Amino acid sequence: MNYTKCWLAYPTICREQERTLTVHSDFDGPVAQNGVKELTLGLKGLYDMGLEPVTENGADASIRLVRKDGIHPEGYAVQARGGKAVVASSGERGVLYGIFALLRQLQTVQCAWDDLDWEEEKTPSNPMRMFNHWDNLTGDIERGYSGQSFFFRDNEIIIDQRTVDYARMAASVGINATVINNVNVKGAAVELISPRYYKPLRDMQEIFAGYGIDLYFCIEFAAPILLGGLDTADPCDDRVKAWWTDKAAEVWQALPGLGGFMVKADSEGRPGPFTYGRNHADGANMLADAVAPQGGKIIWRCFVYDCQQDWRDTKTDRARACYDHYMPLDGQFRDNVILQIKNGPMDFQVREPVSPLFGGLKHTNMMLEVQVAQEYTGQQRHVCYLIPWFRQVLDQDLYCQEGPSTVADLVSGRSYGNALGGMAAVTNTGDDPNWTGHDLAAANLYGFGRLSYDTSLTGEAIAAEWVRLTYGKEPKVEDTLTDILMKSWPAYESYTAPLGIGWMVNPNHHYGPNVDGYEYAQWGTYHRADWKGLGVDRTSRGTGYCQQYAPKLANLYENLETCPDELVLFFHHLPYTYVLKSGKTVIQHIYDTHFAGAEQAAEFLRQIEELEPLLEPEVYERLHARFSHQKEHSCQWRDVINTYFYRKSGIPDAQGRKIYA
């Protein structure tokens, strides 16, 4: 199947045919060689120029890839001036990232090769920058909105040019690790750690390694039973320990350099240590000990909560679960364990406070998990550029120590001097021709990588950069698409669930409005609306969730006077007539944002229609179809939500607009 080159299309800047640059490299490993290949592709596309490697006279080469101690092995220093460029690093990954930075810069300033006058030095903000794929071996993707898997089909592993192009795309934005299969390890995926798959996995691993990407996969906690024929997977059982130790030795012998395993345990029906009366440190450490001799890591997901809750029970609070489970274990995990924590305490809603666990753990490696796949944010049928949201998450200060204590500081390991940590994104890719279903959803994939490598970047800068790399330099296209991207998350938030309350989606597939879709279910996701008001009381008078934060944040959320409007219903149960800081009542806020959000979606479509002459017909058609759907679907959201709350409250819209009573 044909597919687009996304941001690696290298659209022509100006033609300098007949010219050939030279490149000299101090490195000769596969990563640097792929860097040279990328330079060749880039210069050909941008200038129609050739590139020739030279082994001698390195000093005269147009581009020099230089080994330089003192620069982080995944960082780089690039200098480009007067038709010559030097890309320096102490490691090959750094050189590769420097090359991508150089190609990016050429496209950003859109100048002739000789005119580039630029230098940049970067050290990655996070040690680990990871894509998580929820691909099943059958080929379908859990929460996939862009076709089928390009890693797996019919229980076989696919290796083709797309594998290489995926690795190029990931490396171009600084991704250095990827988990290829679903955390819900289903069917044949249990056997990924068996000889059946070692050969193709090795081939895949080699491709990824050539782009500086460590391969990981998700394992099934009950594998000793399912694969090993034991009668238990108890992490404290010696037979289980021995089985995992032998298994790890076998896996690493087949796949030397494998990054490690990711585990979802005791979560949404998955097996785990709780089955045996053990805790999650017992489970994670047993695996960590098994993989440690191989240099492997265990990424242990913290998405653990009671998914069999009684909706009548107003004291149990799913939001509390992650902290309640893991805080008592702080300091007990091995050095090669990383706890992976979702950005919020619930599950990737359009707005949530950050998980208090980030501020709680002081002696544990941790990693932030975000979802680039738009499960709850429009499923890649609506545009929803999430990078400004991730930026806010990273900037949130947890006030948990005197020193640096934002989420960015904490997960990078900076706060407490941890060597491991970073950011992971559940990806939005599939085998659709444009990789991400919605063409503009590629900005999230790109943006996650860029942000995880450099957490000082802004959402707007990343958006503008992505648009230029993807569509070339056409001011109207650039301005319009950047504008749409930047307005898209607030727009989506405004016509869906209000004021931080979340959910209100159709059960199971999570698409489209259904205010009571999860209200009487077992999932712990309630809005508690009645005729007087709505919201969940998570203060000390309610579930006590607020108190999981350090005092400064706990007080901010606990007090209505200081609790930010956008999260007020997450933390408080309020009457519809309560006046927000905006000066509007809760009910009027609901009406106003829903009318405004749907209008904004209609405006997006108008903006896209103006781009018709400037975009390739196929791209325009795809965009037009998605934005038309978004316009219509945002009206459905608006009307369902407004009608529901009008019927509950009996309070009319102050502006007398149409509400379907």
Q: Which residues are catalytic?
A: 268, 347, 375
- Residue 84: strand pairing partners: 81
Question: 277-297 burial, b for 16+ CB within 10 Å, e for fewer?
Answer: ebbbbbbbbbbbbbbbebebb
Q: How many CA atoms lie within 13 A of 392 on its CB side?
A: 13
Among 24, 104, 122, 143, binds ligand GCV (CB under 6 A): 143
262 binds ligand GCV (CB under 6 A): no
Site string for ligand GCV, 112-141 (x = CB under 6 A): ----------------------x-------
280 binds ligand GCV (CB under 6 A): no
368 binds ligand GCV (CB under 6 A): no
Pairing between β-strand 533-534 and β-strand 574-575 as defined by DSSP bridges: antiparallel
What burial class does residue 19 get, using C-beta atoms within 10 Å of its C-beta: 0-12 exposed, 13-18 middle, 19+ buried? Answer: middle
24 binds ligand GCV (CB under 6 A): no
Query: What residue type is 638 in one-letter code?
Result: R
Closest approach of ligand GCV to the CB of residue 555, in Å: 31
184 binds ligand GCV (CB under 6 A): yes
What burial class does residue 419 get, using C-beta atoms within 10 Å of its C-beta: 0-12 exposed, 13-18 middle, 19+ buried? Answer: exposed
Instruction: Quote the CA–CA distance of 38 and 26 in Å, as a whole number.
Output: 17
324 binds ligand GCV (CB under 6 A): no
Closest approach of ligand GCV to the CB of residue 397, in Å: 26
CB atoms < 10 A from the CB of 456, how many? Answer: 11
243 binds ligand GCV (CB under 6 A): no
Total residues at the site for ligand GCV (CB under 6 A)?
A: 11
Instruction: Quote the CA–CA distance of 450 and 420 in Å, as a whole number.
Output: 19
637 binds ligand GCV (CB under 6 A): no
297 binds ligand GCV (CB under 6 A): no
Closest approach of ligand GCV to the CB of residue 339, in Å: 14
142 binds ligand GCV (CB under 6 A): yes
Among 152, 303, 471, 549, binds ligand GCV (CB under 6 A): 303
Name the CA dihedral angle for 200, 206, 211, 213, rounded to a multiple of 10 degrees: 70
446 binds ligand GCV (CB under 6 A): no
514 binds ligand GCV (CB under 6 A): no
Part in contact with ligand GCV (CB under 6 A); list of ranges 59-67, 261-269, 412-420, 431-439: 261-269
Long-range contacts (CB closer than 8 Å, 24 or more residues apart) made by 306-310: 306/524, 307/268, 307/269, 307/522, 307/523, 307/524, 308/522, 309/522, 309/523, 309/524, 310/522
- Closer to ligand GCV by Cβ: residue 222 or 463: 222
What burial class does residue 655 get, using C-beta atoms within 10 Å of its C-beta: 0-12 exposed, 13-18 middle, 19+ buried? Answer: exposed
Closest approach of ligand GCV to the CB of residue 325, in Å: 14
Instruction: Quote the CA–CA distance of 471 and 261 in Å, as a whole number.
Output: 37
Closest approach of ligand GCV to the CB of residue 498, in Å: 21
Closest approach of ligand GCV to the CB of residue 435, in Å: 20
- Closer to ligand GCV by Cβ: residue 570 or 644: 570
Tokens of 97: 């990232």
347 binds ligand GCV (CB under 6 A): yes
Among 24, 247, 264, 297, binds ligand GCV (CB under 6 A): 264
Phi, psi of 604 (to 5 degrees): -55, -45
CB 432 within 8 A of CB 145: no
Closest approach of ligand GCV to the CB of residue 303, in Å: 5
- Closer to ligand GCV by Cβ: residue 189 or 659: 189
Part in contact with ligand GCV (CB under 6 A); list of ranges 195-203, 260-268, 428-436, 577-585: 260-268
The CA distances from residue 458 to 176, 323, 455, 463, in Å, are 21, 29, 8, 9
Phi, psi of 130 (to 5 degrees): -130, 140
Part in contact with ligand GCV (CB under 6 A); list of ranges 105-113, 228-236, 264-272, 539-547: 264-272
CB 20 within 8 A of CB 51: yes
Closest approach of ligand GCV to the CB of residue 527, in Å: 18
Part in contact with ligand GCV (CB under 6 A); list of ranges 263-271, 275-283, 327-335, 585-593: 263-271
183 binds ligand GCV (CB under 6 A): yes
Per CB under 6 A, residues contacting ligand GCV are 134, 142-143, 183-184, 264, 267-268, 303, 347, 375
